Amino acid sequence: MSAAPPRKPRPDVIRDDVRAMRAYAVPDSTGLIKLDAMENPFPLPAELARELGERLSRVALNRYPPADPARFKRRLAEAAGLAPGKALMLGNGSDELIHLMIQACARQDAPGGTVVLAPTPTFVMYEVFARLDGCRFVGVPLTADFGLDGAAMRQAIAQHRPALVFIAYPNNPTGNCFARAELEAILDQAPGLVVIDEAYLPFAQDTWMPQLAERPSLVVLRTLSKLGLAGLRLGYACADPAWIGEFDKLRPPYNVGVLPLAAADFLLDHFQVLQQQAAVIRAERARLLSALRALTGVAPFDSAANFILFRVGEPDRLFAGLCGRGILVKNVSGSHPLLAGCLRVTVGTPQENDAFLQALGALS
C-alpha cells in the first residue's frame, strides 16, 4: 500500500494581513561602504576589544541569563540618569520593547480598536507592530519642512483617544527634534502613554529623562545600538514602576542573552570611549552638512541624529549610481509623500564621508 502524499497546510493558516505584508528588507552590503543603517562606523579600540573578548570567554554559555539582571539594571539606570523612584526594563533591542508596550495596551474590547498614534513619516516599526497587535494606527503628517503639526496632533488625539503616542526624538528618517513646547502640549492632552524614543540621544544630546519625575504618562525609550553596540540588540524603557510592571508581564523569559548583558556591563566601565566616538560623529555630521549644501541640486535637512536626509532631483538614479561606486545609502523617496526625492545617508568615518561626497559630487 503506497503512502499518502504529505498533506499541505491550508493557505488560510497564515493570517491574511501577514500574507499581504512584505518582510523588512535589509540590503546586502557586501563590498560596499555601508551608510544606510545609522550605525556607529567605528569599531572598539583593539585593546578594549581584546579585554572584552576575555570577559566574554568567562561567560557561562550553558546557563540561562538571569531572569532579572538587577545589578546591571542599577548600573545602567545610574549611567542613564534615571530619576529616583522610576523603573527600567530591558529589551532585545528597542523594537521588542515597542512591541511589548503595544501588546500590553491592545484591548480587544476597545470600540473601533485600540489606537496607536504617531507623526509621520517616522520609524516604521511603530505602525508595523501596531497593526500586528490588532491596533489601529493613526499617522499625523508632519509639516512640509518636517516640523510637528501641533494643531493636527492635538486634534487627532482628541478625536482618536490613543492608548499610545510614539514620538521619535530626533525623528527618523528626518533627523530633526520637534519643538519641546509641542511635545509638552501632547503630554498634557494624551489620555494614555506617550513614548519618547531617544534612539539618537548620543548625537542629539537632548533628553526627556528628567521629565519622568513629573510626568506619570511618559515613557523614555532608548537603545545602545546607535551608540556603537548595534550587534548587542539591547534597548531599555524607563517609566513609572507601575507601567514597567505591566509591560514586564509580557516580556519573554531570558529575552536578553548572557553575551549582550556581559558585553554591555563591561562597556559601562569604558563608556567614555563610545562617547568620544559619538563626538567625532557629531563633528563629521556638521562637516557633511556643509559639504552637501555646497553641491548643486542637493538640498540637505538639518539633523540632530547620526544621519542626514537630503533631497535630490533624481533619487533612483543617484541611489543606483552611488551603489555602483561602492556606497550604500537609504532610498526613502517612495516611503512617504513628504519624502519624495529624498535619500538618507549615515554619518560615517571621515574617509567614508569623503568617499560618499566624491561619488555624490560626480553624479550630481
Span 155-169, pLDDT tens digits: 999 999 999 999 999
131 confidence band (pLDDT: 50, 70, 90): very high
Q: What is the pLDDT of residue 28?
A: 86
Q: Which residue(s) pair with 165 in the sheet?
A: 117, 194
The CA distance from 323 to 34, in Å, is: 10
Name the more confident of 21 and 233.
233
Q: What is the predicted pLDDT for the residue at 221?
A: 98
Query: Does 7 have pLDDT greater than 80?
Result: no
pLDDT band per the 50, 70, 90 thresholds, residue 16: confident
For residues 38-45, average pLDDT? 96
Q: Mean pLDDT across the stretch 56-63? A: 96
Q: What percent of the chain has pLDDT over 90?
A: 90
pLDDT the model gives residue 2 = 66
Query: HEC string of the chain?
Result: CCCCCCCCCCHHHCCHHHHCCCCCCCCCCCCCEECCCCCCCCCCCHHHHHHHHHHHHCCCCCCCCCCCCHHHHHHHHHHHCCCCCCEEEEEEHHHHHHHHHHHHHCCCCCCCCCEEEEEECCCCHHHHHHHHCCCEEEEEECCCCCCCCHHHHHHHHHHHCCCEEEEECCCCCCCCCCCHHHHHHHHHHCCCEEEEECCCHHHHCCCCHHHHHCCCCEEEEEECHHHHHHHHCEEEEEECHHHHHHHHCCCCCCCCCHHHHHHHHHHHCCHHHHHHHHHHHHHHHHHHHHHHHCCCCCEECCCCCCEEEEECCCHHHHHHHHHHCCEECEECCCCCHHHCCEEEEECCCHHHHHHHHHHHHHHC
Q: Give the residue-averaged pLDDT of 107-132.
A: 94
pLDDT at 91 exceeding the cut of 90: yes
State the Rg of the chain over Cα: 22
Average pLDDT, the chain: 95
Per-residue pLDDT tens over the stretch 304-358: 999 999 999 999 999 999 999 999 999 999 999 999 999 999 999 999 999 999 9
Q: What is the pLDDT of residue 20?
A: 85
Q: How far apart are CA 228 and CA 206, in angstroms?
A: 18
Distance CA 359, CA 364 (A): 9
How much is the pLDDT for 1?
56
pLDDT digit string (tens) for 65-83?
998 999 999 999 999 999 9
> Cα–Cα distance between 80 and 73 in angstroms, integer?
10
Instruction: Please give the domain boundaries of the chain with CATH numbers for all domains.
Output: 16-46+272-363 (3.90.1150.10), 58-270 (3.40.640.10)
The predicted-structure confidence for 239-295, as pLDDT tens digits, reads as follows: 999 999 999 999 999 999 999 999 999 999 999 999 999 999 999 999 999 999 999
